């Protein structure tokens, strides 16, 4: 509660500010933050931009978008100018062996990450080189309605060949997204998504040593075909982190003791993804609605990232090793071909394979003991498709694909940009085949029945 005296003082301050010119008010915004001293009946974007556009290395440490990039910008008269080009991206690679003709921005699927700083004025040109009209929505960013990018509702759709200009001041900080908001079902299914990171003007909490941004999405690509199917509602068979599926996903490389931030956005068509990791616990620090108050934070090992939202987590990487980071929905860590296979687990198919091979050379009944064998056995898969699961690991075959990557925590690292290879476990710290003597001693049996 304000005292009468404070109210009089703040009224005087407001009167004084009103008398000042726009330039003086711009300088003042350093102390007037959204939700702070300003009049809350006005939206944040009504504030004048900060006089100094945020620059990497000076005002923020850029995020790392693994398997992606940051959108370049230039500063023109204090405004950050970006250019997005909507276009077809032929042969986007999801993982070695699987490519498809997608749509994206600036030749990439997904689009490059836009980065700026709270208080920046941004001007984003959008050129449409697609064969269809489009628009760009700046997801969860509070801005004037006409800049919201909803085709038909807030603007005319951008026709093929046209360039539109969006301009607004960003007064939030956190992890946001951008995506097509015109024929969303088709265009988002084809890849027209990207991340939009706004750094705080002043640091909020300890700065991370490593700051990663991920965008989750899902696709239906029938094995052997080259076009994602936007009509799919249920059976997505390519689940991606930054538009790649394991083993095509880059590892998350950190040093022991690093404070690590993961920003995770989800623009899948139909699925929320519980993203889980091993060896540590993390804290959810932000959503795309803002910073989670300290008193509301709690430790977690899985964060549910609903469709159309972002979650930011932080942890201290104190446990060396190779640890999975993955969606915990088990069908989301499978690659193509996981669907429509009859359940044959436990079925004795006798000499079916031998007999079938008389008419179909190389025939193999799939999945009588599960699916683990389906990556490893080097089965012939249709052209332009990848095995249902995984890749060879250091100890055996890794039977996961899809929305999966590896957190590599090392005590010594040459460089964050160089994959340190597989983790070397200290002697005596790996699960091993039990020997007979131990089993006799502890279980009273030499070999399990
Ligand atoms: Cu999932």
Q: How far is the CA of 272 from the centre of ligand 1 (A)?
A: 6
Extract the tokens encoding 157: 């759709």
Q: d(Cα 364, Cα 384) in Å, to the nearest integer? A: 20
Q: d(Cα 424, Cα 418) in Å, to the nearest integer? A: 16
Q: d(Cα 217, Cα 236) in Å, to the nearest integer? A: 10
Q: How far is the CA of 240 from the centre of ligand 1 (A)?
A: 9
Neighbouring-strand partners of residue 410: 255
Extract the tokens encoding 422: 């597989």
Three-state DSSP at 309 gives strand
Q: How far is the CA of 43 from the centre of ligand 1 (A)?
A: 35
Low-confidence spans in the chain with pLDDT less than 50: 1-32, 34-36
Q: How far is the CA of 389 from the centre of ligand 1 (A)?
A: 15
Answer for the pair 38, 29: CB distance below 8 angstroms, yes or no. no
Question: Tell me: the pLDDT tens digits for 365-416?
Answer: 555 556 565 555 555 677 888 877 788 999 999 999 999 999 999 999 999 9
Closest CA to 318 of 409, 229, 441, 385: 409
pTM of the model: 0.85
Q: How far is the CA of 68 from the centre of ligand 1 (A)?
A: 20
Query: For residue 355, what pLDDT is reported?
Result: 76
Q: How far is the CA of 390 from the centre of ligand 1 (A)?
A: 16
Extract the tokens encoding 442: 């502890």
Q: How far is the CA of 337 from the centre of ligand 1 (A)?
A: 16
Answer for the pair 123, 80: CB distance below 8 angstroms, yes or no. yes
Q: How far is the CA of 273 from the centre of ligand 1 (A)?
A: 4
Exposed/middle/buried for 136, CB within 10 Å: 0-12, 13-18, 19+? buried
Extract the tokens encoding 369: 């003991």
Query: For residue 105, what pLDDT is reported?
Result: 98
Query: For residue 379, what pLDDT is reported?
Result: 57
Query: For residue 34, what pLDDT is reported?
Result: 47
Q: How far is the CA of 277 from the centre of ligand 1 (A)?
A: 13
Q: d(Cα 91, Cα 66) in Å, to the nearest integer? A: 19
Three-state DSSP at 166 gives strand
Give the other-Cβ count within 10 Å of 77's Cβ: 8
Among left, alpha and beta (phi > 0; psi -120 to 50; other), residue 197 is beta
Q: How far is the CA of 1 from the centre of ligand 1 (A)?
A: 46
Q: How far is the CA of 86 from the centre of ligand 1 (A)?
A: 27
Query: For residue 12, what pLDDT is reported?
Result: 40
The one-character DSSP state at 333 is G
Q: How far is the CA of 445 from the centre of ligand 1 (A)?
A: 42
Query: For residue 337, what pLDDT is reported?
Result: 63
Answer for the pair 303, 265: CB distance below 8 angstroms, yes or no. no
In degrees to the nearest 10, what's the CA dihedral of 164, 165, 166, 168?
-170
Q: How far is the CA of 271 from the centre of ligand 1 (A)?
A: 6
CA distances from 172 to 53, 202, 390 (A): 14, 12, 39
Question: Tell me: the pLDDT tens digits for 41-95?
Answer: 778 788 889 999 999 999 999 999 999 999 999 999 999 999 999 999 999 999 9
Q: How far is the CA of 87 from the centre of ligand 1 (A)?
A: 27
Query: For residue 375, what pLDDT is reported?
Result: 58
Exposed/middle/buried for 154, CB within 10 Å: 0-12, 13-18, 19+? middle
Q: Is the peptide bond before 151 cis (omega within 30 degrees of 0)?
A: no
CB under 5 Å of ion ligand 1: residues: 273, 327, 329, 332
Helix then strand count (H, E) for the chain reads 6, 23
Query: For residue 11, what pLDDT is reported?
Result: 41
Neighbouring-strand partners of residue 277: 325
Q: d(Cα 199, Cα 302) in Å, to the nearest integer? A: 25
Q: d(Cα 432, Cα 427) in Å, to the nearest integer? A: 11
């Amino acid at each position: 509660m304000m005292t009468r005296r404070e109210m009089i003082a703040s009224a005087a301050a407001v009167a004084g500010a009103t008398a000042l010119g726009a330039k003086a008010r711009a300088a003042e915004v350093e102390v007037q933050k959204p939700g702070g001293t300003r009049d809350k009946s006005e939206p944040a974007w009504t504030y004048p931009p900060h006089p100094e556009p945020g620059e990497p290395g000076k005002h923020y440490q850029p995020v790392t978008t693994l398997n992606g990039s940051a959108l370049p910008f230039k500063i023109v008269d204090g405004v950050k100018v970006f250019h997005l080009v909507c276009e077809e991206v032929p042969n986007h690679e999801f993982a070695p062996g699987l490519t498809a003709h997608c749509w994206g921005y600036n030749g990439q699927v997904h689009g490059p990450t836009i980065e700026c700083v709270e208080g920046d004025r941004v001007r984003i040109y959008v050129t449409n080189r697609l064969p269809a009209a489009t628009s760009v929505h700046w997801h969860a960013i509070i801005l004037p309605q006409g800049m919201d990018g909803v085709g038909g509702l807030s603007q005319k759709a951008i026709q093929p060949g046209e360039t539109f200009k969006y301009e607004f001041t960003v007064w939030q900080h956190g992890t946001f997204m951008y995506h097509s908001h015109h024929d969303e079902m088709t265009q988002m299914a084809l890849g027209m998504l990207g991340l939009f990171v706004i750094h705080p003007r002043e640091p909020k909490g300890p700065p991370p040593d490593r700051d990663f941004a991920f965008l989750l999405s899902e696709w239906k690509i029938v094995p052997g075909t080259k076009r994602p199917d936007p009509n799919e509602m249920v059976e997505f068979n390519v689940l991606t982190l930054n538009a790649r599926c394991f083993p095509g996903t880059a590892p998350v490389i950190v040093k022991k003791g690093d404070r690590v931030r993961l920003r995770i956005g989800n623009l899948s068509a139909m699925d929320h993804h519980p993203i889980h990791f091993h060896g540590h616990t993390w804290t959810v620090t932000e959503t795309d609605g803002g910073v989670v108050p300290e008193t509301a934070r709690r430790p977690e090992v899985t964060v549910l990232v609903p469709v159309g939202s972002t979650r930011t987590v932080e942890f201290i990487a104190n446990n060396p090793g190779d640890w999975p980071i993955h969606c915990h929905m088990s069908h989301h860590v499978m690659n193509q071909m996981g669907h429509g296979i009859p359940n044959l687990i436990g079925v004795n198919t006798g000499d079916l394979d031998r007999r079938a091979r008389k008419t179909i050379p190389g025939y193999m009944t799939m999945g009588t003991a599960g699916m683990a064998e389906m990556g490893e056995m080097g089965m012939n898969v249709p052209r332009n498709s990848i095995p249902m699961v995984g890749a060879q690991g250091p100890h055996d075959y890794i039977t996961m694909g899809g929305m999966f990557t590896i957190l590599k925590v090392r005590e010594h690292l040459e460089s964050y940009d160089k994959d340190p290879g597989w983790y070397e476990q200290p002697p005596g710290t790996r699960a091993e085949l039990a020997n007979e003597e131990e089993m006799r001693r502890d279980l009273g049996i030499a070999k399990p029945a």
